[in-house]
Amino acid sequence: MAQSATLRELDADRVEFYTHLLRQMLQIRRFEEKAGEAYAQGKIGGFCHLYIGQEAVAVGALAALREDDYVFTSYREHAHALARGMSARAVMAELYGKADGCSKGMGGSMHLFDRERNFLGGHAIVGSHIPLAAGAGFAAKYRGTDQLAICFFGEAAVNIGAFHETLNMAALWKLPVVFLCENNRYGMGTALERASAVYDIAQRACAYDMASLTADGMDVLAMYDATVQAAQRARDEKLPTLIEARTYRYMGHSMADPIHGHYRTKEELEEQKERDPIANLKARMLEERLLEKEAYERMEHEVAEEIADAMEFSDRSPDPDPATLYDRVYED
Amino acid sequence: MATKVLMEALSPTMEEGRVLTWQKGEGEAVKSGDVLAEVETDKAVMELQARGDGVLRKILAPAGATVEVGRLVAVIAAQDEDIDAILAEAGDGKKAEREARRRHEAPAPKPATAAATAEAPAAARARAADTDDGARVKASPLARRVAREQGVDLARITGSGPGGRIIRRDVDAAEAAPAAAAAMPLGGYHDVELPQIRKTIARRLAQSLGPIPHFFLTTEIDMERAAEARAALNALEDGVRISFNDIVVKVTAAALLQHRACNAWWQDDHIRYFNEVHISMAVAVEDGLITPVIRDAHAKSLRAIAEESRTLAQRARERKLRPDEYTGGTFSISNLGMFDIEQFTAVINPPEAGILAVGTIAAKPVVEAGAVTVRKRMLVTMSCDHRVIDGATGAQFLQTVKRMLENPLAIVW
Amino acid sequence: MATITYRDALNHALREEMERDPDVFLMGEEVGVYQGAYKVSRGLLEAFGERRVVDTPIAEYGFAGIGVGAAMAGLRPVIEFMTWNFALLAIDQVVNSAAKMLYMSGGQIPMPLVFRGPGGAALQLAAQHSQAFESWFANVPGLKVAAPATPYDAKGLLKAAIRDNNPVVFLEGEMLYNTKGEVPDEEYVIPLGSADIKREGTDVTLVSHSKTVAVALKAAEQLEAEHGVSAEVIDLRTIRPLDVEAITMSVRKTNRCVIVEEGWPFCGVGAQVVDDIQRDTFDYLDAPVLRVTGADVPMPYNKHLERSAKPSPDKVVQAVQRVAYLD
């Protein structure tokens, strides 16, 4: 098992790239904060799972992929959509259930899609999308392209049959797939240690003779590096990889769930926030003079404006036409 | 003293009525006899009249509401009179609805039909009792539709399906029967007990042909002189135009006076022969057919018949006929001449025993004194209930009709 | 016109569609090297190679999901379940993934995918192997459900299913694989959603599909010979979309209907058909619609009990006698 380097030195030549990663994480953080507010105001309905704390995983991993790769995620996927380049307007409008949403208001928070970006969903049955990603990998191999598929899922999904069936077939058939487990330590309110016989999720790959990596899910560069390795293996060797990203969820399981309480303590939460991916990258860049304080403030300002615009846009966007209720059940 | 305005039975078969419009509003003063509302019954649009003086204090059944007969639809009272007790008694809308539903589940004997069936055939009553609850007719949807289309009264049919369900074949076996027993016409009559042979004929013919054993007689009538008479009368220009149909009505009534055997009702265990002639006149209306009755047609002038038939037809089309205006006929005439129908057979309108189907008047070549000439000719076909009218009886009557039409003066002879 | 088996008709459909469209591939247990558990895929591995005829481990949930994912990426997978009993392990993929994808993506992701395999009872396979799931899948908006009865229909419908851009649940019959019928040599496709009148009649409509078409046809012969009743036999062919018009046109003519299906009665296909009939033909019915279904029990192993749990021509004749008021 390879361990990705932690806190490697920053490369002054890549300042634009770092800035880009920082900005994406910041955008996601602010987006999720505002989504939480909108949920509290009743503008967003249903289940709404926020990504705050885990930003480094989606941003780092997706930065390592190509535009034509396939992306599958679970239902905690606002961040992946944004990191994939979908506009804050399209994502927020979807959360609002509006016609201008990326899924035309028919999917909601858990079902974000963007065909043009090969962003193939937000899926809300834990583990059910793992074979879907393998299917997209199968299609890439079938067609002889060097595309790959990445699948983001939580650590609670590794106890589901779909995970094992899929990892077995992906290894057996040598499919170009990156299985990225976002281990945020809790499946809803059940700690990993209370649900899994093996705590080290990367080890699960051994059962299928599959390569694996464990990465610091609070470090966007570590996530980027790990995914670059896995993507290379997928493209060059047509082999899958299991990445375990060790990360942490600041919020409750969903907006309807407690942030802490019976299943974890406030102290633990505060301690984990010390590892905050945004604060850390920002601090390092400031320290190494790769970022000016004013530039960061400007970035904060721009992001806030972008999210405010997305919310205003979503407010204005019409509800889907009731006449379309029966549309798109079947494709002609 | 407050007056309860109830939904009234405005036709013999009416069980509920739909309020079309209120002519008076709440708070408006009304006098006994004032028209309060227009109510649509199963047959026509009727007026609901005030039966007391005062102020229309409360309307309980808004326009469009369908209300069972006997249910409170409004209250007339003095301006300051307390009507809460009456309203409370009527109950809120929901309670009324619940009651209505309960009544539907366990129907009470229907007063209107009970009166009408006092004279109804015993067999029909017995059959009605065959059904579970004594009132609901069990029939397959298809049987109901066919019966509706053919004017067959399901209450008169015995179902051969499970639990007495009336099915298609039962309706097919039955011929058209009236939706309800007709009201008694005014005037005298005498009942004749059935001789054994007539009972046997009735039973056997009914068995072979369905409830009404029809037979048909057709004759061609020369209408030249009738046409001349009509032209002469219409030349008087006094505002009343005589139609051929009016002449046929008049002639038929006069002929029936001479052939009372055809002016009769089949009553299952007896035949009722009428002294007066009341002609039922088939009138097509928007959603069907209704037969307004020209009463005492034998005693009315052609002019009176013309006027009356005009009025009745108009009222029929406006659905404004009163029940007594479309029940109690003794013989029917159906005229499709205006549709260029040359000849057709009409279905008897029970309990009447005969109906005359009148075709169009057309110029035709006929042989007269060995030479071919062109004459105005008309075909009429009489449908007879064989239980009442035998072939010769009907033929003789029809012959009289023919002679009178060919020589209109015979009417007054 | 050749006379071939239902099995070969399916085989020919797969072969023709794979030749026609390089995006079509077959995946499932034993489809390749073993030549198919029921030999439907015989010879396909040799013709198209391992890339397009893919043997899977016993992992219905996983390979059904891989099929869904491949369809999302634009391929046209045909996923074979060795039987539909095993497909219950994958029902999440059929119902939650395949059926919903187009709608919940706001119309962005079509799902050109066929799930196929034998359904219903064969002989003495007992409770877990003798189940007809038509109504389960037909209940789900987004799925189409086909269940052909003859080699001709099997071929034409499978070709249509493979070309359809929606997920199609294709239920074959283990007991039908060996049945023979005429299949034209030239290419043809039978559109999904069209029923077929397998026998014309005037007195009663027998609605059937898949294996019960033969049951209904046999009952119709018996009715003609023994009771002088002329029965019209409708083969639904597709359960969803349901050809309601064909059913109601027939019932308007015959005024009576008996529905014959292999599945359980409660919420079965026939329950839906009855609903359509009572709504669209209420005034044409001369009798309540009756159903002849599989018994409302898990399938017993014992031969005699199994027979009594299945629809039979005699049961259909008895039902017709009731709706035609002949008893």
Q: Distance (Å, rounded) from C-alpha C233 to C-alpha C212?
A: 10
Q: Is the dihedral of CA B194, B198, B199, B202 positive or negative?
A: negative
C65 near A162, Cβ under 8 Å?
A: yes
| B114 or C203, which is more confident | C203
Instruction: Go through A150-180 and write b for each residue having 16 or more CB atoms within 10 A of its CB, e for each that does not.
Output: bbbbbbbbbbbebbbbbbbbbbebebbbbbb
Tally C-beta pairs within 8 A across A and C: 148
- Judged against a pLDDT cut of 60, whether residue B92 lies above it is answered with no
Contact A215, A181 (CB under 8 A): no
Contact C62 A138 (CB under 8 A): no
Helix axes A161-172, C60-72, angle to 10 degrees: 70
Cβ(C50)–Cβ(C77) below 8 Å? no
Cβ–Cβ contact A101 with C under 8 A: yes
- Cβ-based contacts of C282 with chain B (< 8 Å): 141
Handedness of CA C303, C309, C311, C314 (dihedral sign): positive
Q: Which tokens in the block code for residue B251?
A: 């002639």
Instruction: Determine the distance from the C-alpha atom of residue A212 to the mean position of all C-alpha atoms in its chain, rounded to a whole number.
Output: 19
- Nearest-by-Cβ selection for C285 from B140, B160, B169: B140
- Whether the per-residue pLDDT at B350 is higher than 90: the answer is no
pLDDT of residue A316: 97
Strands C2-5 and B354-368: unpaired
Answer whether C286 sits within 8 Å of B168, measured CB to CB: yes
In angstroms, the CA C134 to CA C145 distance is 7
Has the ipTM of the complex gone over 0.90?
yes
Q: How far is CA A132 from CA A72, A74, A147, B379, in A?
A: 8, 11, 15, 83
Cα-Cα-Cα-Cα torsion C257, C262, C265, C267, nearest 10 degrees, comes to -90
What number is the average pLDDT over the span A44-58? 96
Say which of A107, A166, A172 has its CB closest to residue C106.
A107
Per-residue pLDDT band for B133 (boundaries 50, 70, 90) equals very low
Q: What is the SS3 assignment for C138?
A: helix
Mode of pairing for the β-strands spanning C238-240 and C144-146: antiparallel
Give buried/exposed letters for A94-133 (b at 16+ CB in 10 A, else e): bbbbbbbbbbbbbbbbbbbbbeebbbbbbbbbbbbbbbbb
Average the pLDDT over B168-180 and give the result. Answer: 66
Please name the amino acid found at residue B297: A
Per residue in B369-379, pLDDT (tens digit) is 888 899 999 99
* Among candidates A106, A169, A330 on the partner chain, residue whose Cβ is nearest the Cβ of C62: A169
Using CA coordinates, name the residue in chain B closest to C289.
Answer: B140
- Percentage, residues of chain B above pLDDT 90: 27
The type of residue at B112 is A
Q: Is the pLDDT of residue B96 over 60?
A: no
DSSP string, A168-217: HHHHHTT--EEEEEEE-SEETTEEHHHH-S-S-GGGGGGGGT-EEEEEET
- Provide the pLDDT confidence category of residue B285 given band limits of 50, 70 and 90: confident
Q: Is C282 on the interface with B (CB under 8 A)?
A: yes
What is chain A's alpha carbon radius of gyration, rounded to the nearest angstrom?
Answer: 19
pLDDT at B235: 87
B363 touches chain C (CB under 8 A): no
Tens-binned pLDDT, residue by residue, of chain C (327 aa): 899 999 999 999 999 999 999 999 999 999 999 999 999 999 999 999 999 999 999 999 999 999 999 999 999 999 999 999 999 999 999 999 999 999 999 999 999 999 999 999 999 999 999 999 999 999 999 999 999 999 999 999 999 999 999 999 999 999 999 999 999 999 999 999 999 999 999 999 999 999 999 999 999 999 999 999 999 999 999 999 999 999 999 999 999 999 999 999 999 999 999 999 999 999 899 999 999 999 999 999 999 999 999 999 999 999 999 999 997
DSSP letter at A15?
A: H
Give the number of beta-carbon pairs within 8 Å between B and C. 27
pLDDT confidence band for B119 (50 / 70 / 90)? very low
Q: With 90 as the cut, is the pLDDT of residue A311 above it? A: yes
Q: Are B167 and C283 within 8 A, CB to CB?
A: no
Angle, in degrees to the nearest 10, between helices A220-237 and A277-287: 100
Instruction: Give A115's contacts in chain C (Cβ within 8 Å).
Output: 105, 108-109
Q: Which two tokens stand for residue C179?
A: 């049945």
Torsion angle defined by CA atoms of residues A197, A200, A205 and A210, in that order, rounded to the nearest 10 degrees: -160
Given pLDDT bands bounded at 50, 70 and 90, which one contains residue B11? low
Q: Is B touching A (3+ C-beta pairs, cut-off 8 A)?
A: no
Which pLDDT band, with edges at 50, 70 and 90, does B214 fall under? confident
Going edge to edge, which strands form the sheet with C231-235? C196-199, C231-235, C204-208, C257-260, C290-292
* Residues of B in Cβ contact (< 8 Å) with C283: 141-142, 144-145
Nearest to A152 by CA among A86, A229, A81: A81
Q: Cα distance from B167 to chain C (closest Cα, Å)?
A: 6
- The secondary structure of residue C216, as a DSSP letter, is H
pLDDT higher than 50, residue B178: no
pTM of the complete model: 0.68
Q: Which residues of B touch C323 (CB under 8 A)?
A: none
| Contact (CB, 8 A) for B383 and B345 | yes
Is the confidence at residue B412, as pLDDT, over 50? yes
* Out of A115, A133, A172, closest to residue C109 by CB: A115
Do B and C touch (≥3 CB pairs < 8 Å)? Answer: yes
The chain A residue lying nearest C163, using CA atoms, is A332
> Which of chain A's residues have a Cβ under 8 Å away from the Cβ of C51?
142
- pLDDT tens sequence across A144-201: 999 999 999 999 999 999 999 999 999 999 999 999 999 999 999 999 999 999 999 9
When comparing pLDDT for B237 and B399, which is higher? B399
Residues of C with CB under 8 A from a CB of A: 25, 51, 54, 56-57, 59, 61-75, 77, 92-93, 96-97, 101-111, 141-142, 144, 165-166
- Locus of tokens 């003519």: C253
Kindly report, residue by residue over A242-289, the tens digit of the pLDDT: 999 999 999 999 988 888 888 999 999 999 999 999 999 999 999 999
The answer to whether the beta carbons of residues C57 and A168 sit under 8 Å apart is yes
- Per-residue pLDDT of B136-170, as tens digits, reads 788 999 998 888 888 888 888 888 888 888 998 88
Which of C230, C266, C221 is closest to C250 using CA atoms? C230
Q: Measured on CA atoms in the order B11, B12, B18, B24, is the torsion positive or negative?
A: positive
Residues of C in contact with B161 (CB under 8 A): 287, 325
Whether the CB-CB separation of B169 and B160 falls below 8 Å is answered with yes
Asked if residue B44 has pLDDT above 70, the reply is yes
Residue of C nearest to B164 (CA): C325
Do residue A125 and residue C92 have CB atoms under 8 angstroms apart? yes
pLDDT value of position C178 = 96
What Rg, from alpha-carbon coordinates, does chain C have? Answer: 19
Beta bridge partners of C170: C116, C146
Helix (H) or strand (E) holding A231: helix A220-237
Q: What is the pLDDT of residue B198?
A: 62
Closest residue in chain B to residue C252, using alpha carbons only: B142
Tell if the CB–CB gap between B142 and C325 is shorter than 8 Å. no
Question: Chain C: residue nearest B139 by CA?
Answer: C286
- Per-residue pLDDT tens over the stretch B20-43: 888 888 888 888 888 898 888 766
- pLDDT for B209 equals 54
Residue B7: its pLDDT value, please? 86
Written as one letter, the residue type at C267 is: C
Q: Which positions of C are annotated as active-site residues?
A: 60, 129
Contact check, Cβ <8 Å, A330/C142: yes
- Cα A53 to Cα B405: distance, rounded to the nearest angstrom: 107
C-beta atoms of C69 and A330 within 8 A: no
The rounded mean pLDDT for chain B is 79
pLDDT of B94: 46
Does B180 score more than 80 pLDDT? no
Cβ pair C105:A149 closer than 8 A: no
The confidence score (pLDDT) of residue B106 equals: 39
User: What band does B46 get if pLDDT is binned at 50, 70 and 90?
Assistant: confident
Q: Is A13 exposed, middle or buried (0-12, 13-18, 19+ CB in 10 A)?
A: exposed
| Helices (runs of H) and strands (runs of E) counted in chain B | 12, 19
Contact list in B for residue C285 (CB cut-off 8 A) is: 140-142
Tell me if residue A243 falls in helix, strand or coil.
Answer: strand
**Residue B117 confidence (pLDDT) above 60:** no
Q: Which residues of B374-400 are buried (b: 16+ CB within 10 A; e: fewer)?
A: ebbbbbbbbbbbbbbbeeebbebbbeb
Minimum distance, in Å, between the CA of residue A106 and any CA atom of chain C: 5
**Which residue stretches of B188-281 are H helix?**
196-209, 224-234, 244-258
Residue B130 has pLDDT above 50, yes or no: no
Given a cut of 90, whether residue B279 has pLDDT beyond it is yes
**Non-local CB neighbours of A10 within 8 Å, separated by 6+ positions:** A18, A221, A284, A285, A288, A290
Residue A114: the pLDDT is: 98
Q: Are A207 and A144 in contact (CB under 8 A)?
A: no
The encoded tokens of residue A330 equal 């079947």
Instruction: With a cut of 60, say whether residue B201 has pLDDT above it.
Output: no
Can you tell me the distance from the alpha carbon of B256 to that of C68, in angstroms, rounded to the nearest whole number? Answer: 86
The answer to whether B144 contacts chain C (CB < 8 Å) is: yes
Residue among C56, C105, C166 whose CB faces A103 most closely: C105
Neighbours, chain A (3 or more CB pairs < 8 A): C
Burial (CB < 10 A; 0-12, 13-18, 19+), residue C69, is buried
Contacts of residue C325 in chain B, CB cutoff 8 Å? Answer: 160-162, 167, 169
Strands B214-222 and B371-385: antiparallel
The answer on pLDDT for A4 being more than 70 is no
Give the chain C residue nearest B145 (alpha carbons).
Answer: C283
Residues of A within 8 A of C66 (CB-CB) are: 131-132, 134-135, 138, 166, 169
* B104 in catalytic set: no
Q: What percentage of chain A carries pLDDT values higher than 70? A: 98
Residue B227 has pLDDT above 60, yes or no: yes
Pure H helices in B167-223: 168-173, 196-209
Mean pLDDT within B257-266: 91
pLDDT at B95 over 50: no
CB atoms within 10 A of CB B205: 17
Interface test with C, best of B150, B167, B170, B171 (most C CBs within 10 A): B167
